[in-house]
Amino acid sequence: MNEASRLGSTRLATGRRLGWAEWGPPDGTAVLFCPGAAQSRSLGFGTDVVGELGVRLISVDRPGLGISDPVPGRTLLDWADDIAALADERAWGRFSVVGYSAGAPFALSCAASGLVASAAVVAGGDEMPRFVDVLPEHVRDAVRSAHSDPVRAEEFFAAFGEVDALWKMILSSSSDLDLAVYRQPAFEAVLRRAMREGLAQGPAGYARDVVLGMRDWPFSAEDIAVPVDLWYGEQDTSPVHSPDSSADLAARIPGAVRHLLPDAGGSALWTHASRILRTLCQRRVA
């Protein structure tokens, strides 16, 4: 993965700072990237093809991660409000969004708020309470805890908010196909750096993200009115990604297109980046 072309931060009207990174031409088609749990703005995807595609890829630190100021008690809808303000300040124009893993509900909150021209979810987390009876026991317990006592749940997840612990968790739940990607020295270095930066302010931002993703979403998937593509690898073994590879979500989002990739796993974001970005840009609506 290439280093970001531009790094910076923007102060919103509220006075809070959001950190961002960009790849590709500054006048290209803006694509917001919502990375996974504990991952900072330095993590991108498809950075070797954004120039060819004319894509301005933008990764933003969520509040409390990286260099973005924390917001106690924030919600998924607050994220959409922040992005609307940032897009205006940074002159993105009509933009698209990609959500990876724990970033999926943040991307879909932007789609539900009508901010984007198209959206993609890659190996995304789903609305987990809908699957609580079929989840692995440890995930089921975490989802129930997030609903019954979210404050205590955040404290629990914060205790695991450390790079080595999260890295071991990723490796222990990954298929051989994904391990071959994640264990590449260059890839591992980039991903571990992104997590180290993401946790630079401590684990509270990470813990808040996880709890938000495990609770009922404060928007309806049925009300999303822009094109959405859902990408899942058939060799994805992560217990925190969509339990049915987004079949339920695809049925709920009007016009959503579900892509099941037989030769991919949870690392599909990087192994199929060009296809994902090309499809996203082709599906844009005015």
Q: What is residue 2's predicted lDDT score, i.e. its pLDDT?
A: 82
Q: Give the tens place of pLDDT for each residue, 35-68.
A: 999 999 999 999 999 999 999 999 999 999 999 9
Distance of CA 208 to the CA centre of its chain: 14
1 found inside a domain: no
Q: How far apart are CA 184 and CA 199, in angstroms?
A: 22
89 found inside a domain: yes
Q: Which two tokens stand for residue 270?
A: 């990087």
- Does the pTM surpass 0.85? The reply is yes
96 found inside a domain: yes
What's the farthest any 2 CA atoms get from each other in the chain? 48
Which CATH number belongs to the domain containing residue 263 in this structure?
3.40.50.1820
85 found inside a domain: yes
The structural domain count of the chain equals: 1
- DSSP H helical segments within the chain, as ranges? 50-53, 76-89, 104-112, 137-148, 150-158, 163-172, 176-182, 185-198, 204-214, 247-252, 268-271, 273-282
Q: Give the tens place of pLDDT for each residue, 236-259.
A: 999 999 999 999 999 999 999 999
**Domain encompassing residue 91:** 6-282
Q: Which residues of 113-126 are buried (b: 16+ CB within 10 A; e: fewer)?
A: bebbbbbbbbbbbb
Q: How far apart are CA 270 and CA 222, in angstroms?
A: 29
